[in-house]
Amino acid sequence: MRFQFEVDGRPRTVTLERAGAALAVSLDGRPVELDVVGLGAGRYSVRLPASGRQHEVIVTPVGPDGTMQVAVSGTDVLVGRRSPGRPGSASMGAVGDGPQRLVAPMPGKVVKLLVKPGDVVALRQGIVVVEAMKMENELRAGRAGVVREVLVVEGASVDRGAPLVVIG
């Protein structure tokens, strides 16, 4: 399977093939071998056999256009599906119609709201901080726009996938 994505504004091509228990991955034409174990609810344990390094990966859809927030060992990366046949175009950032709903990537507690309704936000600007498993995760805007709604308050407990903020 071949995917074209944009990660932090940079186009990437990922090819996936099952190789026994491992997953053969090619990133921008360079092979990378991974052992992946699904933990349920968009959570994965990913081990790089060559180095032995292991990462927890949490994948959360954040928009109807295929945009995802991917947290790798606590570091958030916004990933958007690239539009086929249009080099350089992507379904991220200011491109695309409709509001973006920022959702909680995991159950946790809202510890800080960084925006309020009416605020103008830039692509990748911090929007809300959610604490999960004693780690604070700053969730960022997947597009530039205006904050339409803030759907939570500081101190609120949220479930995975709970809508937090709407950016139009």
Region for 164 from its dihedrals, namely left if φ exceeds 0, alpha if ψ lies in -120 to 50, beta otherwise:
alpha
Domains annotated for the chain, with CATH where assigned, are 1-84 (3.30.700.30), 98-168 (2.40.50.100)
Nearest-angstrom CA–CA distance, 50 and 62: 32
For residue 93, what pLDDT is reported?
36
Q: Is the pTM for the entire model greater than 0.85?
A: no
Q: What 8-state DSSP symbol labels residue 106?
A: S
Q: In this predicted structure, what is the pLDDT of residue 97?
A: 52
Q: What's the pLDDT tens digit per position in 14-24?
A: 777 776 666 67
- Please give the C-alpha separations between residue 12 and each of 40, 81, 97, 107, 155, in angstroms, as whole numbers: 26, 10, 23, 29, 37
Mean pLDDT across 54-75: 73
pLDDT digits (tens, 9 = 90+) for 121-132: 887 788 999 998
Give the range among 9-23, 28-42, 72-86 with minimum mean pLDDT: 72-86
